[in-house]
Amino acid sequence: MFQSSLVNKLVLFLIVSIFGFADGKYIDTDLGVTLDQSRFSIEGGVYLEVYLMIPQSQFTYKEATSGLEASVVIQVVLLQDDVVPYPPDRWQRTYKVGSQAAVARMGFVPDISKFSVEAGDYVLQVDILDANSNRRQRIRKPITLELFPEDQLSISDISIASQIVKTQVEGDFTKYGHDIVPNAERIFSPAAPTLFYYFEAYGLSGSDNYSILTQVLSLNGLSEKDMPIRAKKNPGGAVVEWGQVDTKGLKSGIHKLMVTVTDEFTGASVSQKATFYIIKPRESGPSKSVSVDEYASMTGGQLDERFQIVSHVMSRKEIKLFKKSDVTGKRMVLKTFWSRNDPTPETPENEYKDDFFNRVQVVNREFGSEIHKGWESERGRIYLKHGQPTSIERYPATSDRKPWELWQYHHIDGGIEFIFVDKRGYGDFELVHSTAKNEIRDYQWERHLSDISPTR
């Protein structure tokens, strides 16, 4: 079905700049476009759908015959090194508005690109060009496309959608008689609480029934909502499924949608998960806290820098999710972290966030050095995580001992302590022992006060 010989690949050997997207020709910026994708099985290969969520208000509008128009060119391509083994998908959209004042009120529109390809490792590259201003957003992410097993039960990726309705006129979003409108942001809120989902299951026995269990899990894997199990007649080796979940009542933060398919004839069962986000907007009003949109204009590097600070108080699951996410996902992890920890979500202030960045100022002032910023130090990390200690005992250097500090927190876990030693004498205190969970524990820590090793 797919031609992959060297000759055929050389025929399709194309540098992306040939298609009008040469580096240096455009002004690279972040236009706010969000990217998502899903993988499905087809004979001999993988069917890839790439979803875009495009903010119409971010483009440049110029006078046209009827109001104002923005012209946007979109190109999606799969790369293997410098080889483009399949023709890029390229199209143009025109967004129209009556007046410049109305531009800011324009919403997001979904878009989609589709590829039938061989299994393999690729780089997915998406270019969005604002033709009226020569601004370009380029999104690149590595993806692995694996064949779905033919002899065992498996599930495709789950497509998160904002709407699934019966098709009136067949279009780009039509699948099996329904329009499945993707939600590339995977964001839901009280104003748009219904999460729609679509997936495909393969390798069914074709006998007896199969059942579907849909659940919403917390980031830690705890069940937050279970849908009734649905039992259906097994029509054959593969099925397509869609459904919906009411997200009302879920807290702000990161959640997982999990579907489990069980073949009642063989007893085989398989699950698939998809991450989504609940964002509850704040009431309008002044606030010291930065708005939930603060990350919208940040680059990947800027998001990583912010993450390095915030990671001191994030859960392991959130840290892991951030590290494996693309730029869009990283923004969402940071947004939902603050939303989840807001003690008074009904007010415009986020007291937890304000307190945290007040702590950042303290540690940068108190523990910064020529070697690193205060938040990068061990004392800074502990201060950011636990706040001001109940007590601090400081022991200056002596003729035979290095300077060290004992920090105690009487109100945490029945009392915990941290011992820091300035091993090199440059004011860089390192954590050498603690009674807190998941911290270094070394009951022979006093050896660090001198150059004498403990007797064995």
pLDDT tens digits, one per residue of 193-224: 999 999 999 999 988 899 999 999 998 889 99
Q: Where are the domains of the chain?
A: 1-147, 149-280, 282-368, 389-449
**Confidence band of 24 (pLDDT split at 50, 70, 90):** low
- 371: which 2 tokens? 């070697």
| Domain with residues 1-147, CATH architecture | Sandwich (2.60)
Phi, psi of 69 (to 5 degrees): -135, 145
Question: What are the beta bridge partners of residue 69?
Answer: 62, 96
Which residues are CB-contacts of 306 (< 8 A; sequence separation ≥ 6)?
295, 298, 334
Region 387-391 average pLDDT: 94
Question: What is the DSSP track for 200-269?
Answer: EEE---SSSEEEEEEEEEETTS-EEEEPPPEEEE--SSEEEEEEEEE-TTPPSEEEEEEEEEEETTT--E
Rounded Cα–Cα distance for residues 174 and 1 (Å): 23
Rounded Cα–Cα distance for residues 409 and 241 (Å): 53
Q: In this model, does residue 453 exceed pLDDT 60?
A: no
Cα angle 71-77-79, degrees, rounded to a multiple of 5: 150
pLDDT of the residue at 88:
96
Rounded Cα–Cα distance for residues 261 and 153 (Å): 9
Which residues are CB-contacts of 267 (< 8 A; sequence separation ≥ 6)?
none
- 291: which 2 tokens? 């708005």
Average pLDDT, the chain: 88
Q: In this model, does residue 77 exceed pLDDT 50?
A: yes
Region 150-161 average pLDDT: 95
pLDDT of the residue at 10:
41
Element containing residue 368 per DSSP (H, E): none
Residue for token pair 């300077």 = 403
**Beta pairing class for 45-55 and 34-42:** antiparallel
Residue for token pair 């380029």 = 138
pLDDT of the residue at 286:
43
Equal CATH topology for 1-147 and 149-280: yes
| Residue 186 exposed, middle or buried by CB count within 10 Å (0-12, 13-18, 19+) | buried
pLDDT of the residue at 23:
59
Q: In this model, does residue 413 exceed pLDDT 70?
A: yes
pLDDT of the residue at 155:
97
DSSP 454: P
Rounded Cα–Cα distance for residues 190 and 200 (Å): 29
Each residue's pLDDT tens digit, 238-296: 999 999 999 998 988 899 999 999 999 999 999 999 999 998 765 544 444 444 467 87
3-state secondary structure at position 342: coil
The CATH code for residues 149-280 is 2.60.40.3880
pLDDT of the residue at 8:
46
Phi, psi of 431 (to 5 degrees): -75, 125
Whether 136 and 156 have beta carbons less than 8 Å apart is answered as no
Region 99-109 average pLDDT: 92
